[in-house]
Amino acid sequence: MANRKWPMVNRPAYVFLISVLFIGAIAMSTAATLVVLGVGSMKTSIATTHSTQAMHNAETCVEQALRSLRTSVSYDGDETITLTNGTCELLAIGGSGNTDRIICAKGLVDETVRRVEVEVAALRPIGLIDSWQEVADFSLCDE
């Protein structure tokens, strides 16, 4: 009878050991899931920040072009401007004179690109913008 009691006395230890292993596995999988979610969230945050900055860069280029056009209507654009956080490319400005000008700019941050097309009705005496929109691909300018 002594042999029969010995396995029964140690059985709670096996239950405890299996419970600890099971709870440990659940905790490890939860921790791994949280790490993966954290990395994904960080990548999304970086992509969002780059996208916003690229849009700001494109708009900066358009503002620079408008300022230059108001100073000299013969300004033709077609330049790359290096900014603090990335660059912007200004394509050749369409049209001529004081009216009906087209400005296309591309903002870049790392691999992220945002494009803006602007149709200018008049430059002087008061600047009039017909449209200012973000586009996936330029339709008014040749890239």
Residue 51 domain-assigned (yes or no): yes
Domain count, the chain: 1
- Answer yes or no: is pLDDT of 9 > 80: no
Q: Model confidence at 7, in pLDDT bands (50, 70, 90)?
A: low
Token digits of residue 20: 């600890």
Residue 143 domain-assigned (yes or no): no
pLDDT tens-digit series, residues 98-142: 889 999 999 999 999 999 999 999 988 888 999 999 999 998 887
Token digits of residue 138: 């330029």
**Rounded CA separation 118/24 (Å):** 59
Q: Which backbone phi and psi does 84 adopt, to 5 degrees? A: -60, -45
Would you mind telling me the total number of residues written for the chain in this entry? 143
57 burial via Cβ count (<10 Å: 0-12, 13-18, 19+): buried
| Domain region containing 56 | 12-135
Residue 142 domain-assigned (yes or no): no
CB 110 within 8 A of CB 57: no
Residue 30 domain-assigned (yes or no): yes
Q: Average of pLDDT values for 26-51? A: 94
Residue 79 domain-assigned (yes or no): yes
pLDDT at 29: 95
Residue 2 domain-assigned (yes or no): no
pLDDT at 5: 53
- Reference 133, options 121, 120, 115; nearest CA is 115
* 95: DSSP letter: S
Residue 3 domain-assigned (yes or no): no
- Reference 143, options 89, 99, 101; nearest CA is 89
pLDDT at 55: 96
Residue 26 domain-assigned (yes or no): yes
pLDDT at 63: 94
pLDDT at 67: 93
Q: Model confidence at 38, in pLDDT bands (50, 70, 90)?
A: very high
pLDDT at 1: 46
Give the CATH number, domain containing residue 129: 3.30.1300
Q: Average of pLDDT values for 25-35? A: 95
pLDDT tens-digit series, residues 12-25: 777 888 889 999 99
- Reference 55, options 134, 110, 140, 141; nearest CA is 134
